[in-house]
Structure 1
Amino acid sequence: MFPGANTDRDAAEYVVVGAPLDVSTTFQPGTRFGPDRIRTFAEPFDDFDRRSGQSFTDLDVHDHGDVHAWDDAEEYLEYVSGLLSDVRREGAVPLVLGGEHTVSLAGVTAVEPDVFVTLDAHLDLRTEYAGNELSHATVTHHALETADRAVILGARAGSEAEWQRAAEPDVTVVAPEAVGDWEPAFDDEAVYLSVDIDGADPGFAPGTGTMEPFGLTPREMRDVVRRVAPYATGFDVVEVNDRDDGQAPSLAAKLLRTFVYEHADRR
């Protein structure tokens, strides 16, 4: 159980769902261990948040546990999306623990946002990767099949074709050095927020599959989560693996808690 997520499902305002999918991860696999590691490294966090004056245990968070993954990614995502749709129908906000970034598509399908916002080192606008049309490198491409537009914060890597796609009007890319000054402008649009932990500089979060130098600081990522949370109807943190000493999962856990504190404070 995610520490502090002790509310019964029928009374929950937020529902944590682990999605340990690890079928298309490239370079360094291990995202199947992500949800458990995120929960583990959240253990020492204080319950009280001085900024908002709230205690996490008072914010009606429930942990559904993990949805055991299997090799058929399309079928798995459809199943997880159905579960997250149930969470939405019950009036709660889904909080997904990945798992590879592909699991974000289950959240996007369930929430049907107007805007897909992602903290990510990579554009993820490929139509396929290594012959796979449903890969962690195609997430933003597929998210735009549901969302009207995408905002990619911290991207610093992509193919030539991806950068050309990113220049189209429905995609906004904010370079790492500009993220600190970025302010959301969503009006009445519904937002889904996805945090790929590789958006962080690998010096802060080496436990991820495809590390990319010159990235964001944890504080910059926290500030983005604070800015976007009030507009969001769904959230995930993904691409954490077991290849560090806890830096990546502790950052992921803290960002999830930051989302809940800020969303609940503005609710």
Structure 2
Amino acid sequence: MFPGAVTDRTDAEYAVVGAPLDVSTTFQPGTRFGPRLLEHVAEAFSDYDQHTGQQFTDLNVYDHGPIRPGDDAAEFLDFLRGTVWDYRQDGTVPLLVGGEHTVTVGALRGIEPDVYVCLDAHLDLRESYNGNPLSHATVTHHALDIVDRVVLLGARAGGKAGWERAERDERVTVVPPEDVPSWEPSFDSEDAYLSVDIDAADPGFAPGTGTPEPFGLDPQTMHRVVRTVAPHCVGFDTVEVNDRDDGQAATLAAKLLRAFVFAHADG
């Protein structure tokens, strides 16, 4: 159980859903351990949030538990889509804990938000990678089939075709790492979905991720973005945490998940 997620399903305003999919990681696998790692490190966190004066245990957070993937990613995403859709119909905000970034596709299909906001080192605009159309490198490509626009915060890696697509597609906004601290969102009453790929952080802060990229964001900047975007959101995830560090990536991800809940509940 995610620490502090003590509410019953019928009273839930937020639902933590484990999504330990780990089938397409191209460098360092281990995202299947992400949900478990976040639960472990969050045990040490204070229940109280000094920014909003709230207690996490008072915010009606429910722990759905993990959805165990099989060998078929498409089947897993379809099941995840149905789970997220059920929560959306009940007015409950799903909080996905990955797992590789591919799980975001299932959540977006279940929620169908207007805007996809993503903290990420990578563009993820490939139509397929290594012959796999559901690779973690295709998430933004799939998002553009669902949402009206995409905002990528901290992106600093991608193939030539991806950068060219981002340049010509007016629905895509890429904010480079150096501009993220001053970035301010504008949603015009749109529903947003926020995804935190932990590799948006510089690997000096969060080395436990599948495809680390130097010259990334610091935790304070990511925290500000999460707290700023959260009040506009109908869903959230944190993804790409693996077990290849001493808990730095998991600790940052768990803190950002809680920051999302505190800011959303206060918004």
TM tier, smaller: over 0.9
Equivalent AA in structure 1 for residue 262 of structure 2: Y
Q: Secondary structure at the match of 1:259?
A: helix
Q: What is residue 22 of structure 1 aligned with on the other side?
A: 22
Question: Counterpart of 1:68?
Answer: 68
Structure 2: distance between partners of 1:49 and 1:124? 33
Q: CA deviation at 1:261?
A: 0.1
Partners of 2:164 and 2:239 in 1: how far apart?
25
Q: CA deviation at 1:111?
A: 1.0
Would you say 1:228 and 2:229 are equivalent positions?
Answer: yes
SS at 1:101 equivalent: coil
Q: Could you report, residue by residue, the CA deviation over 1:58-100 in whole angstroms, capped at 9, with x for unpaired residues?
A: 0000000000111100110000110111111111000000000
**1:183 corresponds to which residue?**
184
CA distance in 2, matches of 1:148, 1:71: 31
- CA shift, 1:32, in A, is 0.4
- Structure 1 residues 1-267: aligned runs within 5 Å: 1-167=1-167, 168-266=169-267
Backbone CA RMSD of aligned residues: 0.5
> Separation in 2 of the partners of 1:73 and 1:222?
31
Per the alignment, in what secondary structure is the counterpart of residue 102 of structure 2?
A: helix
Deviation track 1:133-156 (CA, whole Å, cap 9, x = no partner) reads: 111000000011000110000000
Give, as a single letter, the amino acid of the residue that structure 2 aligns with 1:264: A
Query: What secondary structure sits across from 1:150 in the alignment?
Result: strand
Question: Structure 1: which amino acid aligns with 2:51?
Answer: R
Deviations 1:33-70 (A, max 9, x none): 00000111111000001110000000000000000111
- Structure 1 unaligned spans of 5+: none
Take 1:116 and 1:172, find their aligned partners in 2: how far apart are those partners? 10
Deviations 1:181-207 (A, max 9, x none): 000010111101000000000000000
Q: Secondary structure at the match of 1:152?
A: strand
1:216-264, Cα deviation, whole Å (9 max, x unpaired): 0011000000110010000000000000000000000000000000000
How far apart are 1:26 and its partner, in Å? 1.0
TM-score by length of 2: 0.99
Task: State the Cα distance separating 1:166 from its structure 2 match.
Answer: 0.6
For 2:54 and 2:214, the matched residues in 1 are separated by: 35
C-alpha distance in 2 between matches for 1:216 and 1:139? 20
- The count of aligned residue pairs is 266
Q: Distance in 1 between matches of 2:176 and 2:91?
A: 35
Secondary structure of 2:260's partner? Answer: helix
The 3-state SS of whatever aligns with 2:236 is: strand
- Return the alpha-carbon distance in structure 1 between the equivalents of residues 224 and 51 of structure 2: 13
**Structure 2 counterpart of 1:140, one-letter code:** T
Q: Quick one: distance in 1 between partners of 2:184 and 2:201?
A: 19
Can you give the 5+ residue segments of structure 2 that lack an aligned partner in the other structure? none
- Aligned residue type for 1:103: V
Equivalent residue of 2:74, what SS? Answer: helix
SS of the aligned residue for 2:150 comes to: strand
AA of the residue aligned to 2:140:
T
